[in-house]
Amino acid sequence: MIVQEAGRWRSYVTPEEHNSEVDDVLDKLDDDELASLEAILAEVGVTGTSQIADTCADLEWEEVPVPIEEWLDSYHHIGDLKDSIYPVLKQDLIELFNGNYHEVILTGSTRWGKDFFSCTAMTRLLYELCCLRDPAQSMGLGAGESIHVVPISRTTQQARRIVFGGIASKLNLAPWWRNRFKETLDYIEFPNKKITIVGGASSDASALGLNVYTALVDEGNFMGMVKASEAAKSAGGKTHDRAQMICDALVRRIQGTYRHSGVKGMLFLISSKRATDDFTERRIREHIKQGTTNGVFVRDYTTWHVRPEPFKHQKWYRCSVSSTEGRCRILEDDEEGPKDAIVFEFPHDFLGEFQRDPAGATRDIAGIATDTYAPFIANRPAIEQMFDEHRPQVFAVREWDMATGRLEINWDDVITTNARGENVPICCPNSVRHVHIDLSKNMCATGFNLCHQAGLVEVIRTDKEGNKSIEEAPVFHIDGVLRIIAGSANEIDHGEVRGVIYRLNEGGFNVRSVSMDHWMSVPNMQLLKKHGYRVKELSTVKKIDPFDCSRGALYEGRIVAPPHQQLGDELRGLELDPKRPHDRPKVIVQAGHTKDLADAWAGGIYYLSENHKGGVLLAPTSGTSDVPQSGHAHQWSEGNVTFADEEGYAEWEGRKSEDGGGGGGGDPWSQSWII
């Protein structure tokens, strides 16, 4: 079983799991094999040894491997390595090789010995293989076949470091390995046993055509996304996460090669932590969800777990990781951690790091995954507060697979009729609507956001010096957010996407403008213009302005939307690109995640912000702000928001200046009335 305690994962073998494994082995034996087992047990019961078992072993083994406990203390087998293994790691190696494991996940902080542990374990596996008379035959391979060990990392150079800086250096330490292997610049070979360690690889395609018995995927949490061109060439198909694609391909190759012989091989997945939904975290949760934790060895350490001696007499501090607060912080001595927060301790040696960068130190030093690497939206409660469970959903589904047919719209929930018998939205019936589309073709989803300005509210803002000011700011309602995927249709039909806009108009939503990002925007914009829509190219990638503006509105509670779990997840997963300079920031998303809905959300809010009250865009505040709870109510507009390029706007702007900004209640260009 795999459990999580204080943000760390660890595997255990329960007595029930051990008995279940024994039962599984017995169930697979035929009558003759069961009779042989009973004869062996009978001999052991009388003499303590079995002649039958010894005879069988002589047929398989050229040299019977010494037990793992003896091997770890043997200079003959591992050289000076025996004096460099910390007691914690030595005990873990003993548990690993005394159990029936086929997958090893090593995660946690940086520099606790993940590479050292995995390379030592792979050396033991090579030792066991080399003790066989004919490894290929024992593994169920054909005569003359080779067995391969494949390390994979982000780059070929990093993978070669594992081979030649990790495995080869350990082989060269021990007398037992002398004259047993040949080391070249590209590989390590055991010619008498037909075993080859590949010199380094950076993709799953490197394992094609190889009889992979054991493989190592290094720093999988940092491999990033797969480009479309790479996915097309890969054996892993269309999986976007590079580490996931590589892992799936290796598992299929190991199982396909050895399963018929009852051999499971071993896969090592090692990486320091980054965020709560990174590859290793997802892999562990996937095993728990599917009930496949048997045979999965997990260790999640930090430096002071593996080497506790230097920290025994230091003062220890507590730090909390709270998704509710959206931050990591050091707790006071008598302070309780926030509800549902992960609270852990760290020694005084690292106090300065935790004070300078709590989130970074939590990940890199303490080995606790945070929601994002550098969260863009730190105020997580604001995301939850944006969603109003009483607001109806425009679309019948949150994700529309185009291969399933026509998109259903909940007309009865969102449309009513006015006094003239016309179809109008229930929410803000006179408001013009805007649509932002985050376009895609096949590898990514298309994000679709239908939204409108609902009115104005006075916002009290406080600068860093404590000075307060009042500004009028727009309130935005999101009618519906939709994720569109191609599915088995292979490609997203942009005509169908435009058709959704036309259907919304025909059904009663006064969609007046459409914005979209750069990709494929020109032909779509031309077609939408012919239908009378205002169109604009608006990128949420080239500039951070749309996300900055939308985040400000979110923090001030000026966005209201129907519940949408995936949109919330995407907003929580947004982060600032750590590789970009501060003067050119960029919002990105973690590897393995998407931000199609977040892009559509930000694009729609930003467009409305640019065009509210004739194009006055509120700059994000560096201080604090809040919406007054009493005394200043929303000013709801009639919905026909004026755009700065409309005919007659300039005359209204001049009249507004002359009469002190009132604009006049009967002014056709006035945008706010008190209801």
Residue-wise pLDDT for 18-35, tens only, equals: 888 888 888 888 899 899
Q: What percent of the chain has pLDDT over 70?
A: 86
Residues 669 and 642: beta-carbon distance below 8 Å: yes
pLDDT at position 374, please?
A: 66
Q: What is the distance in angstroms between the CA of the first residue and the CA of the last residue of the chain? A: 61
416 has pLDDT over 50: yes
pLDDT at position 665, please?
A: 38
Residues 6+ away with beta carbon under 8 Å from 38: none
Residues 6+ away with beta carbon under 8 Å from 244: 236, 279, 282, 592
Q: Which CATH number fits domain 63-303: 3.40.50.300, 3.30.750.24, 1.20.1290.10, 2.60.260.20?
A: 3.40.50.300
Please report, for the chain, the start and end positions of each structural domain, with discontinuous segments joined by +. 7-60, 63-303, 308-364, 386-564+594-639
Residues 423 and 415: beta-carbon distance below 8 Å: yes
Which of 167-181, 264-278, 459-473 has the lowest average pLDDT? 459-473
618 has pLDDT over 70: no
Residue 122 corresponds to which amino acid? M
- Residue 504 CA to residue 498 CA, distance in Å, equals 10
- Residue 497 CA to residue 546 CA, distance in Å, equals 22
Please name every residue paired with 453 in a beta bridge, in sequence order, or none if there are none.
476
386-564+594-639 CATH: 3.30.420
Comparing 165 with 346, the larger pLDDT belongs to 346
DSSP state of 613: G
- Residue 670 CA to residue 659 CA, distance in Å, equals 13
pLDDT at position 598, please?
A: 96
* CA max distance for the chain: 111
- Residue 604 CA to residue 538 CA, distance in Å, equals 9
Report for 233-242, 513-522, 547-556: range of highest mean pLDDT: 547-556
Tell me the average pLDDT across 263-270.
94
Comparing 169 with 614, the larger pLDDT belongs to 169
Q: Find the Cα–Cα–Cα–Cα dihedral 197, 198, 204, 205, rounded to 10°.
A: -130
Tell me the average pLDDT across 99-110.
94
Instruction: Tell me whether strands 147-152 and 195-198 are parallel, antiparallel or unpaired.
Output: parallel
Residues 517 and 537: beta-carbon distance below 8 Å: yes
State the pLDDT confidence band at 491, using cuts at 50, 70 and 90.
Answer: confident
pLDDT at position 154, please?
A: 87
- Residue 421 CA to residue 651 CA, distance in Å, equals 34
Q: What does the buried/exposed string (b/e) look like for 440-454 if buried means 16 or more CB atoms within 10 Å of the residue's CB?
A: beeebbbbbbbbbbb
144: left (phi over 0), alpha (psi -120 to 50) or beta: left
Tell me the average pLDDT across 369-379.
76
Q: Could you tell me the CA-to-CA distances from 197 to 211, 214, 359 in Å, in that order? A: 11, 10, 38
Residues 318 and 331: beta-carbon distance below 8 Å: yes
pLDDT at position 230, please?
A: 52
593 has pLDDT over 90: no
651 has pLDDT over 70: no
Residue 129 corresponds to which amino acid? L
Tell me the average pLDDT across 478-491.
87
Residues 148 and 196: beta-carbon distance below 8 Å: yes
Residues 228 and 239: beta-carbon distance below 8 Å: no
